[in-house]
Structure 1
Amino acid sequence: MKVLSIQSAVAWGHVGNSAAVFPLQRIGVEVVPVLTVNFSNHTGYGAWRGPLIPPADVADVLLGVEERGIFPRIDAVLSGYQGGVGIGDVIIDAVRRVKAANPAAVYACDPVMGNAKSGCFVAPEIPELLRDRVVPVADIITPNQFELGFLTGTEPADIRSTLESADLARAMGPSTVLVTSVERPDRPEGTIEMLVVDNSGAWLVNTPHLPFKANGSGDVTAALFTAHYVGTKDAKVALERTASSVFDLIETTYKSGERELQLVEAQEFYAHPQMQFTAEKVR
């Protein structure tokens, strides 16, 4: 499998491509990483250095990859945080060209906007860009519950309303929706859930909720789920593998006391998921 991953990168830490590439490689996926920023560290530190890569330069790199004859061999295009409207246009164009070269290729979009605690942390024009132009051309989207609500103009809370919101999102274009952080009021105490909905049904997986913020964990989740789903065509299996690996990554990080994801230390959990969580069919 080959994945074209168009995302940010950092020298220190693990977000964007700096979070997605290694776990994908560790499960046997060939990754073609194209960078949209090259920062010293993620912006959560409040200070960083390095350039935003101009959209024209990102497009030029993609053109060079295309000229090497790689696009017909791409199985999935993956994108995450989009720093500006120009990058969105470049990604949409790259998806169009990859699918022209390989009609079986899929586009997985992590529509990064924010979360319920901090609200939107992207430029004001990005949520509308994602909703109106990017999500409609995606095959897979991986929003959190807050992002799903914005995309659909709803307030998903319990399982029923989250399923209804996922169906509205699917009506926009993507056939598969992974909701990465379902926090329903009646969930078991100390847990968090992920929900996936596709043409074959809906599955929910429940894992312990560790009390700390792990920057980049969503990027790892989107990458692993995309690869497992494209590889197996089985939403339940892809969800269980992803939940297993990501929980063990977060637990490893939590126990280390470090701020950054312990991405390398947890590598065996990607290659050999423990499969300690079972997804329940909810529809």
Structure 2
Amino acid sequence: MGDNGKMYVPKELLPVYKDVLVPLADILTPNQFEIELLTGCSINTIDDDWKACEMRSSSNLENNSNLLTLASSRVGAGIKLSTEIPKLSTSFVGSGDLFACLFLAWSYKTNNNIKVASEKTIATLQRVLKRTEQYAKIKGITPQNMELKLIQSKSNIEDPHVELFATEL
């Protein structure tokens, strides 16, 4: 829907997302801007984020050097997870879409083990982003060189090496 205070879709579609699509979804992966739009809540703290949703979201709440990813599940007794991810110095286009795809795939492959799915998603995404950033630094930071290096990351996508672990809250 959008990011960094900017909507990518017409604002008239917000009620469709909010009232029609979200209630039908089994998995949601909104970023902080999107969760604020969907809930009408302003998120300034981790507690605000947890109050606003019981779905997956990413936020810039910790500090300027880390991204905070929160995950929760309503299945069974429920679970809440948090993972701090060091930010990279570059901005990427498509990383949220890749995150959503990876999380869906890993959720399926792990029989909905949200902790393992989160960790493998983050590991894969971080490797793809780092590879893309390294390539662009060598070749020059242009839109073409910032295209996510998915093909080059095939082995990381298939078998990610987890280095950042989710903390159960």
TM bin, normalised by shorter chain, reads 0.7 to 0.9
Any unmatched runs of 5+ in structure 2?
Answer: 137-144
The aligned amino acid for 1:218 is: G
State the identity as a percent: 28
Q: In 1, Cα distance between the equivalents of 2:116 and 2:108?
A: 11
Q: In 2, Cα distance between the equivalents of 1:195 and 1:154?
A: 16
User: What does residue 240 of structure 1 align with?
Assistant: 119
The aligned amino acid for 2:2 is: G
Q: Does 1:164 align with 2:39?
A: no
User: What does residue 21 of structure 1 align with?
Assistant: none
Q: Does 1:281 align with 2:168?
A: yes
- Give the Å deviation of 1:211: 2.2
Q: Deviations over 1:209-232 (max 9, x none)?
A: 112221111111111101111232
- Give the Å deviation of 1:206: 1.2
Q: In 2, Cα distance between the equivalents of 1:202 and 1:162?
A: 12
The aligned amino acid for 2:73 is: D
| Match for residue 32 of structure 2 among 145, 154, 157 | 145
Q: In 1, Cα distance between the equivalents of 2:41 and 2:109?
A: 32
Q: In 2, Cα distance between the equivalents of 1:129 and 1:188?
A: 33
User: What does residue 107 of structure 1 align with?
Assistant: none
The aligned amino acid for 2:161 is: Q
User: What does residue 253 of structure 1 align with?
Assistant: 132
Q: Secondary structure of 2:56's partner?
A: strand
Larger Rg: 1
User: What does residue 182 of structure 1 align with?
Assistant: 59
- Give the Å deviation of 1:189: 4.4
Q: In 1, Cα distance between the equivalents of 2:27 and 2:159?
A: 24
Q: Normalising by the residue count of structure 2, what TM-score does the alignment of the two structures yield?
A: 0.87
- Give the Å deviation of 1:188: 4.7
Query: Structure 1: which 4+ aligned runs deviate by more than 3 Å?
Result: none
CA contact (8 A) 1:157 1:183 kept: no
In the TM superposition, 1:70-109 aligns within 5 A as none
Q: In 2, Cα distance between the equivalents of 1:163 and 1:249?
A: 28
Q: Normalising by the residue count of structure 1, what TM-score does the alignment of the two structures yield?
A: 0.53
Any unmatched runs of 5+ in structure 1?
Answer: 1-112, 168-176
Q: Does 1:114 align with 2:2?
A: yes
Q: Deviations over 1:189-244 (max 9, x none)?
A: 41112111112211011111112221111111111101111232211111000000
Question: What is the RMSD computed on CA atoms of the aligned residues?
Answer: 1.3
| Match for residue 134 of structure 1 among 21, 46, 70 | 21
Q: Number of residue pairs matched?
A: 157
User: What does residue 104 of structure 2 align with?
Assistant: 226
| Match for residue 159 of structure 2 among 269, 272, 283 | 272
User: What does residue 140 of structure 2 align with?
Assistant: none
